[in-house]
Structure 1
Amino acid sequence: MRKSGKIYFSLYQWLFLHMWYYVDTAKLPEDVCEKFLQFDQDEETEHFLQNCYDKADWFFTQIGHSLAKSVLSWFMTKTSVNGLLQRGSMFVFSDTQLKQLLNIEDNWRGENLLDLGAGDGMVTQFMAKYFDRVYTTEVSSTMQWRLKEKGYSILNIDEWDNGSLQYDLIGCLNLLDRCDQPMKILNSIHKSLTPGIGKAIIAVVLPFNPYVEQDSEDHLPTQKLSVNGKTFEEQATSFIKDVLEPTGFTVEHFTRLPYLCEGDLHKSFYVLHDVVFVIKPKENG
């Protein structure tokens, strides 16, 4: 009886985790479906989750972090608090998944990488290993401190698109639904990519629900993206047809991945659902 119960639990757990990556391709238009890449949980993702479980067992550390957050949150944003405490690190894609998305090999090298809204740089490092120079932007001063610790150059959020630099890859991961002017960022990405070879990797949480953390009384963006539909498939398609293509981009690949975050006293980890696009400017765009 115990043995069958264990098998049942393992099957239930597999099905639950499989849903993090599931897309009903029958509900996608044919031209969208052919760009979809199917992923599943891999070893690097499992390692991140195991690390989350391990940290969740550090009871007194979790108590300390909880007390510190309750005090610091009075005068710091949640992002800055996490940066100071070195907690809440994110995981979007593994190295294997990134290579498939970008269609590159282990020995591939690019010149300039820019990661917009890079946070503590934990996701940046997956991309950084393939580039000679790594640039980042980040509004949180404590997160900037963490980025400098990792040796990444920090650009002013008003200067990265001034034409002085062009980038072979621009990362824009879970930023478009957290910024005030997402269309301005997309247009700046378009003009800042290295002609002929530049790509961007965009991650957005679905269902799409914009929230501006700083400098906004109602936390709503002044520029709204036209993302329509209710299901993951409908919103992913709308993001391609109504946002990316009208901005002058073509989508090379896209996928669904869990957007994982280290947990706290209440949960070992938190998960949201990302659509991840690899895009490049249209040849006539």
Structure 2
Amino acid sequence: MTSQLERTYGLRSKYWYLPETSLSSTAQELFFKSSPDNETQQFLDESNSISSNYFWQTVRNIGVMILSTIYSKTDINGITGFGNMFLFSESQFASFLEIDRQSWTSADKNVLDLGAGNGDITAHMHSFFNNVYATELSPKMRNRLVSKGYTVLDALEWANTDVKFNLITAFNLLDRHYSPGALLQDLWKVSHRSNCLVIVSLVLPVSHYVEFNPNGTGTRPDKFLNVQGRTYADHVHHMIVNVFKPANFEVVKWTRLPYLCEGDMNNSAYYLPDAVFLLKSLNKDDGSASPRTATETESNSGSVHNEL
């Protein structure tokens, strides 16, 4: 599949699923290798079709130019349906969470997707969870989420909901959030109350940018994530040790996936290197926690599947 992606688009996909440089022993022990599949190829094929349609791209560019005088880029994508994204297929999602699709029952399960955008990535989880909840600060994107049948919670008050979830996700939100620390606190609070796992993904190396800031108009968060170094591998290590651990989360496993966006006249698709972390909230003992290893988690719970 990798050779097919490179042959079709000239994309160097060798490192889409593997870090370019050596990982720390901590990160290596928790690494789960994902692989490309037919759904990944299908997204790229559809993106290539859109990119090569000159008439459509011309109309798109004119529309974006006009709308950009009034709306943010995210709102424009919400209005027009442009900028569709792809992070994982249903099969990749099931594999990462060790879901046996033969025995899995979705009827009584709830998932919450924070910062869900237009719901493209959320849709790949829908078959596993009958009840889909989402948050989104963009009004135009919220309309799209509602049109897809998702229950949209208040983006600033979601942590106060009484709903208990089987999984909470925050895809590519932590580095776009106006207060990453507050987001992690809320994730711990709700996941601990729900006794559920959390998935957090972000593009590495970390680059903060806040588009919707309830506290003002700046594009910088109130506090930057505590990561060091310049490489993808450096930031994976520091996310595990300096970010998630102090926030009372154990990293059960993590994987690397390509964060893909449909193309334009210049490129058939765009790619960013994502790290996807599966987290388990830890008990707080007088403000501190002693994280268990991934091996201890597996021995106590049997499998990730059993915790969903």
Q: Answer yes or no: same fold by TM over 0.5.
A: yes
In structure 1, C-alpha distance between the alignment counterparts of 2:43 and 2:86, rounded to whole Å: 7
In angstroms, what is the RMSD of aligned CA positions? 2.2
1:57-81 per-position Cα deviation (integer Å, ceiling 9, x unaligned):
2211111111000010111010110
What is the match of residue 162 of structure 2? 164
What is the match of residue 152 of structure 1? 150
Contact 1:114–1:134, Cα closer than 8 Å, also in 2: yes
Give secondary structure in 2 for the equivalent of 1:105.
coil
Alignment equivalent of 2:37, drawn from 35, 39, 42: 42
In structure 1, C-alpha distance between the alignment counterparts of 2:7 and 2:119, rounded to whole Å: 33
List, as ranges, runs of 4+ consecutive aligned residues in structure 1 with deviation greater than 6 Å.
Answer: none
Unaligned runs of 5+ residues in structure 2 are 290-308
Give secondary structure in 1 for the equivalent of 2:238.
helix
Contact 2:17–2:35, Cα closer than 8 Å, also in 1: yes
* Paired AA for residue 73 in structure 1: S
Contact 2:113–2:134, Cα closer than 8 Å, also in 1: yes
Give secondary structure in 1 for the equivalent of 2:250.
strand
Contact 1:249–1:280, Cα closer than 8 Å, also in 2: yes
CA apart distance, 1:96: 1.5
* Paired AA for residue 189 in structure 1: L
Structure-2-length-normalised TM-score = 0.84
* Paired AA for residue 145 in structure 1: N
Q: Are 1:210 and 2:205 an aligned pair?
A: no
CA apart distance, 1:158: 2.0
Q: Are 1:21 and 2:13 an aligned pair?
A: no
What is the match of residue 127 of structure 1? 125
Q: How many percent of aligned residue pairs carry the same amino acid? A: 36
* Paired AA for residue 162 in structure 1: N
What is the match of residue 3 of structure 1? none
Unaligned runs of 5+ residues in structure 1 are 1-6
* Paired AA for residue 82 in structure 2: R
Contact 2:27–2:236, Cα closer than 8 Å, also in 1: no
Count how many residue pairs are aligned between Structure 1 and Structure 2: 277
CA apart distance, 1:111: 1.8
* Paired AA for residue 252 in structure 2: E
In structure 2, C-alpha distance between the alignment counterparts of 1:163 and 1:133, rounded to whole Å: 15
| Aligned CA distance change for structure 1 residues 25 and 37 (closer, same or farther; 3 Å) | farther
| Aligned CA distance change for structure 1 residues 221 and 194 (closer, same or farther; 3 Å) | closer
| Aligned CA distance change for structure 1 residues 267 and 12 (closer, same or farther; 3 Å) | closer
1:215-257 per-position Cα deviation (integer Å, ceiling 9, x unaligned):
4544111122101111111110100100001100011110111
* Paired AA for residue 84 in structure 2: S
* Paired AA for residue 46 in structure 1: Q
In structure 2, C-alpha distance between the alignment counterparts of 1:163 and 1:147, rounded to whole Å: 18
* Paired AA for residue 242 in structure 2: D
